[in-house]
Amino acid sequence: MADITSEPVPLTPSVRHRFYEPVVFLFCIIAANFKNRTTRTPDLETDDGKSPTDSFRCFVNKLGQICDSERGGDTITAFAVLQPGMIEYRFASNSRDRNALNRVKKYVIKILRMLGDASNEELKTSDLSRHASVFSVVLRTILAFNWPRIELHIAALKQQFGFCADACRLDESEEANSALQGIIRLEHAVGRLSEKRTDEDDNSKVAEEALGLLQTIHELYQSPFAEFLREKARQDRDVDNDSPWTELRHAMGRLYSYYITVKVLVATRKRRPQLFDDFEVNFVPSSGPGETPSMRRNTSGIASRMTSNTAKREAIIRYVDHLKRRGIDVDKDLKDKTQPRCFQPIVHAEVNLLDSILREERESDERTRFYGEGDFGRYIGCSKPTCRLCGLYFQFHPSAGVDVRPSHQNLYYKWRAPDVYEHDGLGAERTSILEKMLNAIREENFRVIQDQAPVRKRHDSHTSPSNPSELFSTRATRMDDVVSSFERVDLSSVTEVDDVEERSESSGPRESLEFSTGTVAAAITAAAGGLKTWSRNQRVHTVIDEDEDGGDDGGAKL
């Protein structure tokens, strides 16, 4: 382990300035695009026929999900399943103290033992048809632990009932009338829940009551209501805000994800019982917040350090001036976002967990073995898809060789690399990784300015099953059918409900700009020396997060 009495080696001022300036600037200009432009979201649906590797990785992701109990990003949790001898479940969270991490540890042990102690006969009931089944008990335990987040999804359901029910009544079609009955069923199921509780015992009680709501949602997902809701969400989404239909669909999907998660846990227990037999659970302490980076907080200063090319600097300044004439003050946003009281970067859970594993390997001079490494590779799962900066860190780390969840491309600027110490001798390696990340972020800044159409995801989590044809086809009309073919269908695509509806590029004629976008694009392209990454055919851009987990707080409220 690192010598806790030694001080971390700080980043050089040059690296710190050059890294954070384009990151925060990128955050601000994408935020400006979201206020004024229609965006296109990527199609995240996956192919059928998933491998054993994908099903195992799905299980690891679900372990993270059931520990991500609060909104705001602090409780985002990453897991790795290691096998140095016995099975070791090792996890890290964005920002939990030791007491909270110990509570998570005890909870995970409880869930794994519930499944491990269950007989094969008890595992046959993989739904809520029997009140005392292992499925019901595990789901109830998970709901109780995650109640702070779950009650927010239930509140979101309540907010949409009135609008959606009235819309169905006005429609008067047979499909709308059928959907109205589904909404009424949902409303009644929510109405049977007790009022908000404040202690753990009451969470257990209301979690018991919530089983009925999840059963109702499960049944609606197996009915035409699911397709009706999907189409309404697609049709009624406007430029800047998600409609009540979209929010209803997202809230239902997030609640249903817990039902599906227990399906995944039970299926994994049946398939790989050794994971639930002889194991230990350990955590990595969350990082403390880093110092507020000292950086330039105005466009001209950042542009001058971002590039020495005059044409590119002028293009940046013209673009920001254009936004200011439209009422968006990027320089003010830069100053607001970088105030010391709110700009304290943390090490995100996946990166913190990776650092723990690599540090262990260096200090023992032995490679840490992951469970089933020959079949499943070295994998770190997480409760959320990997953010933009974490994805780049894993991509450019020279010695990681560890896979993570595909990135949702959301950008959190309150991010930092793990600490290094004098005896590590890793200062140069860290600088090299950050330099490569910096180059990618700079390119993304210019690409966003040129195209002005970044992709965003309102929610980090998903909104609908990623394989709806598998879930609702005649070949898989029941979730049991999906789980029984677990090696063939990726249940992670069911659980991570994704906001993947495709929006049109524009809801009407494009608003004329007060300066020539062609001039800016030409200047950037000419200065780029033919960089292929700026092609207009490349439509996957950095995403800024406006999701349920805290917007611009870097993945944790500090």
Spell out the long-range contacts of 111-118 with Cβ–Cβ below 8 A and sequence spacing 24 or more. 111/66, 111/138, 111/141, 111/142, 111/265, 112/275, 112/276, 112/279, 112/281, 113/276, 114/138, 114/141, 115/265, 115/266, 115/269, 115/276, 116/269, 116/273, 116/276, 116/277, 118/269
- pLDDT beyond 50 at 67: yes
Predicted local confidence at residue 466, as pLDDT: 40
Q: Where are the beta strands (DSSP E) in 149-238?
A: none
State how far the Cα of 185 lies from the Cα of 181, in Å rounded to an integer: 6
State how far the Cα of 75 lies from the Cα of 368, in Å rounded to an integer: 26
- pLDDT beyond 60 at 487: no
Which H or E run includes 404? strand 403-404
State how far the Cα of 493 lies from the Cα of 468, in Å rounded to an integer: 9
CA–CA–CA angle 235, 164, 233 (5° rounding): 25
Predicted local confidence at residue 46, as pLDDT: 29
- pLDDT beyond 50 at 35: yes
Question: What are the CA-CA distances from residue 15 to residues 427, 441, 490 (Å)?
Answer: 12, 14, 41
Q: How confident is the model at residue 506 (pLDDT cuts 50, 70, 90)?
A: very low
- pLDDT beyond 50 at 140: yes
Alpha carbon dihedral 99, 104, 108, 109, in 10-degree steps, equals: 10
The answer, as to whether pTM is greater than 0.85, is no
State how far the Cα of 122 lies from the Cα of 266, in Å rounded to an integer: 10
- pLDDT beyond 90 at 370: yes
Predicted local confidence at residue 290, as pLDDT: 85
What secondary structure, in 3-state letters, does 417-463 show?
CCCCCHHHCCHHHHHHHHHHHHHHHHHHHHHHHHHCCCCCECCCCCC
CB 409 within 8 A of CB 432: no
- The residues near 238 (Cβ < 8 Å, ≥ 6 apart) are 507
State how far the Cα of 442 lies from the Cα of 230, in Å rounded to an integer: 37
- Mean pLDDT lowest for which of 45-59, 248-262, 439-453? 45-59
Gyration radius (Cα) of the chain, Å: 24
Predicted local confidence at residue 352, as pLDDT: 97
- A 10 A CB-CB count for 105 gives 17
Predicted local confidence at residue 165, as pLDDT: 95
Predicted local confidence at residue 130, as pLDDT: 66
Q: Over the chain, what is the mean pLDDT?
A: 79
Both structure tokens of 497:
């409900």
Q: What are phi and psi for residue 271, nearest 5 degrees?
A: -85, -35
Between residues 42 and 388, the one the model is more confident about: 388
Between residues 234 and 510, the one the model is more confident about: 234
Predicted local confidence at residue 31, as pLDDT: 84
Overall average pLDDT of the 224-247 stretch: 81
Q: pLDDT tens for residues 395-454? A: 999 876 899 999 888 899 999 999 999 888 888 999 999 999 999 999 999 998 887 655
> Which residues in 438-452 are b (16+ Cβ under 10 Å) and which e?
bebbbebbbbbbbbb
Overall average pLDDT of the 533-552 stretch: 37
Overall average pLDDT of the 275-279 stretch: 96
| DSSP bridge pairs for 77 | 93
Both structure tokens of 423:
């005896």
| DSSP bridge pairs for 386 | 407
